[in-house]
Each structure stands twice: as C-alpha cells, then as structure tokens.
C-alpha cells in the first residue's frame, strides 16, 4: 500500500501514474483517511493534467504550438478530496 498526505492547500504530490492495481491510502488535511484504487487516482491525475494543459494553451501531448518560450510541461501536484473516490 502506498501512503500519501494531502497538504494544507488540498493537493497530493503525484508526478506520474501509480500501478492500477495498487491501493493508495491518503491522509487528508483534516486527519481523515481514505483508500483509493490506483486506477481512480490515475484518472484524477489525467483530469488535472488535461486541465493544466488547457489552461496553459498546450496540446494533448503537452507541446506548445505557439511562439517558443519556456513552459512547464507537466504537473507535480493533484487536487483531491475524500468524495472523489
């Protein structure tokens, strides 16, 4: 089992997918704990990544098709709440 902790702003650190069959225990900022299947966290990660890319005018692969400038290509933190399981 993988254990994660939510920060005070409501995010967990997740820079990549977890194995779909893994169980991930998340301790939320209020002290409650909930177990998420890896597949569900991967879906949440994909939704957050898509929102990040859309908000920064990146295409589906994370590339900027506009003028060249330095842009962060991915995310490290994913917003999460207990009702997302």
> pTM score > 0.95 for this model?
no
Question: What are the C-alpha distances in Å from 76 to residues 12, 42, 65, 67?
Answer: 8, 13, 22, 25
How high is the pLDDT of residue 63?
76
Domain chopping of the chain, boundaries:
2-66+75-80
> By C-alpha distance, which of 17, 13, 26 is closest to 77?
13
Residue 62 phi, psi (nearest 5): 90, 15
Residue 78, classed as helix, strand or coil, is strand
Q: What is the pLDDT of residues 11-43, one digit of tens each?
A: 999 989 999 999 999 999 999 999 999 999 999
pLDDT above 70 covers a percentage of the chain that reads 88
């Amino acid at each position: 089992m993988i254990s994660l902790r939510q920060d005070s702003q409501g995010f967990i650190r997740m820079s990549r997918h977890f194995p779909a069959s893994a169980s991930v225990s998340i301790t939320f900022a209020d002290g409650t704990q909930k177990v998420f299947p890896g597949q569900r966290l991967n879906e949440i990660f994909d939704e957050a990544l898509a929102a990040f890319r859309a908000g920064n005018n990146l295409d589906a692969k994370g590339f900027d098709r506009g003028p060249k400038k330095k842009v962060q290509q991915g995310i490290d933190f994913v917003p999460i709440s207990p009702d997302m399981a």
